[in-house]
């Protein structure tokens, strides 16, 4: 019908666009720029005051109140860390980090991309000073931006290079999580840590006995977050600990799934379904429910939870985090002061220079030691060009900034360092990739 065709013509492009990974990066950067505009507009004071609105919850004897900003940074971002933890677990089990040979190149590259930026930052900001607390800020790479840019560049980017960058970003996230856990913890509250330890043991027990229903995991995860809240360790780490416990095996294996589904389909064939009233046919309804249940059980809890979290993290949590944290006010001519700050320069040089150098040196070392080899289909020059994208740091860098410099002018300097370095890295990475990919295209064009 014309109406149906018009509806499909309208909905399909929107649906196709929403499926693009690039949209996550676009929403993220759009939210950041909108926050900057609002913070420097006539309603800038209202924008800042809004995030300080007090909210809370109460369940029986349990009650907690804090700012909206806190619940976004420490509450919703726990789901981001859960999503990252699930991705890392999947890559370690069956993905690009599943074997030593495949994992060596991105792991060595990630280590170089963590160590060198941190050292550069500490060279600019002397160890022991207040500014030196931010050494963890330039270690992170934003996977959403990198994947978005690669999607925009299209099929010109070799598949092997995309896989390497994805593995690099996942390894980088793992390094960032470890740095946050071990170096950005406050004074430890041992009672809270003891309670958290018991909850982790319970999660481990559920995982070991292969318990598949998600409700106990989620309840224990919430209790773990509450235990870590005043433990001295960032409560967002509860998301990573929960991800480790989520089962990675299906309730029904492919062989059994195929047999069960064939049996149900055979029953459908026997039923005379033509022109029958489905609402009054119990056998047909029972078959549909059984088929749905088998399809659900064929997915692992890890896959199921990842698919649920993916749109929420990319299209809601990360843009909201950017909108709540990226708004910085430039008033009183302090822009010159910001770009003279050693914190700003430590982040700028660490990300724009330290990241690509560290990634390239790490990859070169792994190849030189014959621990790894270049993936087929990419050259060393392409890998070095792609490493420039490693300086795109946003989500994790902003998160570590708040842990490093809570409520201080140094946080403003850190934010501007992150924004500036990310913009430079996007431009530099795209330019270098275009040049190296053009060389590849011209080489293949030769007779």
Is residue 15 included in any domain, yes or no?
no
Is residue 260 included in any domain, yes or no?
yes
Residue 270 in tokens:
């026997």
Is residue 438 included in any domain, yes or no?
no
> Rounded to an integer, what distance in angstroms lies between the CA atom of residue 394 and that of residue 146?
11
Mean pLDDT per 10-residue segment, the chain (447 residues): 47 44 72 87 88 80 82 91 88 76 85 94 90 91 73 72 82 87 83 93 90 88 91 88 88 69 68 56 68 72 86 88 82 73 94 94 90 82 88 87 86 90 90 77 50
pLDDT tens sequence across 223-253: 999 999 888 888 889 999 999 999 887 777 6
Is residue 122 included in any domain, yes or no?
no
Nearest to 108 by CA among 321, 406, 385, 369: 369
Beta strands in 205-364 (DSSP E): none
pLDDT tens sequence across 381-412: 888 888 998 888 888 888 899 889 987 788 88
Is residue 285 included in any domain, yes or no?
yes
Kindly give the interhelix angle for 100-124 and 159-183, rounded to the nearest 10 degrees: 60
Is residue 284 included in any domain, yes or no?
yes
* pLDDT of amino acid 12: 45
Residue 257 in tokens:
């799934």
- Expressed in angstroms, the distance from the first to the final Cα of the chain is 51
Domain holding 278, by residue range, is: 254-297
> Rounded to an integer, what distance in angstroms lies between the CA atom of residue 69 and that of residue 415?
16
Check: CB of residue 438 under 8 Å from CB of residue 391: no
Sign of CA dihedral 363, 365, 367, 372: negative
> Rounded to an integer, what distance in angstroms lies between the CA atom of residue 270 and that of residue 287?
12
Is residue 277 included in any domain, yes or no?
yes
- Total structural domains in the chain? 1
Residue 236, C-beta contacts closer than 8 angstroms, at least 6 positions apart: 74, 77, 78, 80, 81, 180, 399
Is residue 371 included in any domain, yes or no?
no
* pLDDT of amino acid 157: 78
* pLDDT of amino acid 249: 79
As a whole number of angstroms, the longest Cα–Cα distance in the chain is 80
Q: How far is CA 32 from CA 13, 28, 282, 439, in A?
A: 26, 6, 53, 35
Residue 2 in tokens:
């014309």
Residue 369, C-beta contacts closer than 8 angstroms, at least 6 positions apart: none
């Amino acid at each position: 019908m014309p109406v149906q065709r018009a509806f499909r013509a309208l909905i399909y492009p929107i649906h196709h666009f929403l499926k693009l990974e690039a949209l996550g990066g676009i929403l993220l950067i759009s939210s950041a720029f909108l926050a900057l505009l609002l913070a420097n507009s006539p309603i800038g004071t209202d924008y800042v005051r809004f995030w300080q609105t007090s909210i809370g919850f109460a369940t029986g004897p349990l009650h907690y109140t804090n700012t909206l900003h806190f619940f976004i940074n420490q509450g919703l971002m726990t789901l981001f860390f859960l999503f990252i933890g699930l991705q890392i677990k999947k890559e370690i089990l069956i993905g690009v980090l599943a074997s030593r040979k495949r994992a060596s190149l991105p792991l060595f590259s990630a280590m170089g991309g963590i160590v060198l930026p941190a050292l550069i930052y500490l060279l600019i900001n002397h160890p022991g000073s207040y500014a030196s607390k931010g050494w963890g800020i330039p270690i992170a790479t934003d996977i959403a931006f990198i994947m978005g840019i690669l999607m925009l560049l299209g099929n010109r980017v070799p598949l092997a290079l995309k896989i390497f960058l994805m593995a690099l970003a996942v390894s980088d996230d793992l390094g960032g999580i470890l740095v946050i856990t071990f170096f950005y913890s406050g004074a430890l509250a041992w009672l809270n840590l003891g309670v958290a330890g018991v909850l982790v043991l319970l999660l481990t027990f559920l995982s070991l006995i292969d318990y598949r229903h998600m409700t106990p995991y989620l309840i224990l995860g919430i209790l773990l977050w509450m235990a870590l809240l005043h433990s001295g360790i960032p409560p967002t780490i509860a998301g990573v600990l929960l991800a480790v416990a989520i089962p990675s095996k299906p309730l029904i294996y492919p062989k059994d799934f195929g047999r069960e589904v064939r049996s149900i389909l055979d029953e459908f064939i026997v039923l005379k379904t033509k022109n029958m009233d489905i609402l009054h046919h119990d056998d047909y309804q029972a078959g549909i429910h059984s088929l749905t249940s088998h399809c659900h059980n064929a997915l692992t809890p890890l896959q199921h939870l990842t698919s649920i979290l993916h749109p929420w993290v990319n299209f809601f949590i990360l843009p909201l985090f950017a909108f709540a944290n990226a708004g910085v006010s430039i008033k009183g001519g302090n822009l010159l002061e910001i770009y003279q700050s050693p914190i700003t320069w430590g982040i700028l040089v660490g990300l724009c220079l330290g990241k690509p150098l560290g990634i390239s040196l790490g990859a070169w070392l792994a190849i030189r030691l014959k621990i790894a080899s270049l993936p087929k289909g990419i050259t060393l020059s392409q890998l070095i060009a792609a490493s420039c994208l490693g300086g795109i740091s946003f989500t994790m860098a902003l998160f570590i900034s708040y842990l490093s410099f809570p409520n201080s002018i140094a946080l403003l300097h850190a934010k501007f360092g992150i924004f500036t370095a990310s913009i430079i890295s996007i431009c530099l990475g795209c330019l270098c990739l275009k040049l190296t990919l053009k060389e590849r295209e011209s080489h293949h064009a030769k007779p």
